[in-house]
Copies of this chain bind each other. A is one copy, B any other.
Amino acid sequence: MIGLESIRKLSRVSATKIVLLVVDGVGGLPFVRTGKTELETAHKPNLDSIASEAICGLVDTVGTGITPGSAPGHLSLFGYDPIRYDIGRGVLEAVGIDTKLVPGDVAARGNFCTVDGKGIITDRRAGRISTEENARICRILSGIKVKGCEVQVLPVKEHRFVLILRGEGLSPGLTATDPQQVGLSPLGAEALSSEAEKTAGMVNDFVAQAEEKLRGERFANMVLMRGFSSLPDIPTMPEIYKLKAAAIAVYPMYRGLARLAGMEVLPAGEDISGQMESLRRYYTDYDFFFIHFKKTDSRGEDGDFEAKVRAIEELDSALPALLDLRPEVLIVTGDHSTPAALSGHSWHPVPFMLRSRWCRPDKVSEFSEPACLAGGMGRFPATEIMPLAMANALKLDKFGA
């Protein structure tokens, strides 16, 4: 496939707009009694009407048989090979709470845990303490000073937190302090190369001070660190595609991923109607919009087929506000499937459609898994979506003479 460097050379600025609507976890599996998937079951006249004017297909965001997490699923939709651009766990955790990292920051995922009198781990998750207790402990640890860097300790959820070290000359090449099992002592962080030695010392200093401050705490009295990582060195969407790109997402994880790709983050309100309102307000200011709809994934994760059907219908009824703007290129797809039957993400390819004046529409007139299989794109990797979108927006020059 053609690489990002080639796309960068071919891309050009134009007045057309691209809207990428990501319906999280939209792909499904047939309901046993009806043989129909969530999409086939939903009443969704707007989505079906787009399909009848679009070129359709089924996308694999990571690869055949691979169940994508949210990060690789979205990176792939933004045009990045998710195998090559593997984002570290610490960065993802920071991104997931919408924290802005700067290049050179080292982020790590932390667990609050419990240790006995001899320092042996007795519960790696401290009984999944409440998020409120987590926030209280994070405030205690925020007082820690480490020489040579600035320390941030941010609560995530239950026993999970993020540690961010900011300073000059830091390196994420460190081993975890989490031995990943109870009955052992926490490990010291070790540098994987000489350039990370200074950072290893800082992490071990932080952990020693944390142990001191948490001594005598009732629910969690120690920390375990892993997934040390820094912002990946990825070319941004404005660099590759010369797009002024914006994200309209309600959940912090997706705003964070969009920021990694170089998008600006716009207000999103609290639901899809708030997102549509934001799209209308900022429509003239950007030429690429990523809109993220979460509820399909959440209801799929719940294993609630009917609720996922209703989420699709809720999205459908919000679409006229988007359609009224007549974006030159409109894409609707998902980052992965989340069949209610599996109560979780799955490997199944995701329905896709792209509508534009130049899309060469196929015969598909329904946005669903079996219908899209017969579409003009067939089954294809999601990293091809952005080049296709750019082409349909007439934003890509000819390749070669």
Which A residues lie at the B interface, using CB under 8 A? 1-3, 6, 10, 29-30, 62-73, 82-83, 86-87, 89, 92, 96, 339, 341-342, 344-348, 358, 360-363, 369-370, 373-374, 376-380, 384, 386-392, 396-401
Contact = CB atoms under 8 A, between A and B. Distances in A.
Q: Which 6 A-B pairs have the closest CB atoms?
A: A65-B387, A69-B400, A64-B384, A65-B391, A72-B400, A65-B388
13 contacts: A10-B66, A29-B360, A30-B361, A64-B384, A65-B384, A65-B392, A65-B396, A67-B399, A68-B399, A347-B388, A362-B370, A373-B376, A379-B380
A92 to B, nearest CB: 5
Nearest to A10: B66
Most buried by B among A64, A361, A400: A400
Contacts of A377: 64, 379
Given A64-B384, A66-B387, 20 more contacts: A2-B63, A2-B66, A2-B83, A6-B83, A29-B360, A64-B380, A64-B387, A65-B390, A67-B396, A67-B398, A69-B398, A69-B400, A72-B399, A73-B400, A87-B400, A89-B401, A96-B401, A345-B398, A347-B391, A374-B374
A396 B66 contact: yes
Nearest to A375: B373
Nearest to A64: B384
A71 B400 contact: yes
A89 B392 CA distance: 27
Nearest to A389: B65
Nearest to A386: B65
A109 to B, nearest CB: 9
Contacts of A374: 374
Contacts of A397: 67
Contacts of A399: 62, 66-69, 72, 82
A78 to B, nearest CB: 14
Contacts of A89: 401
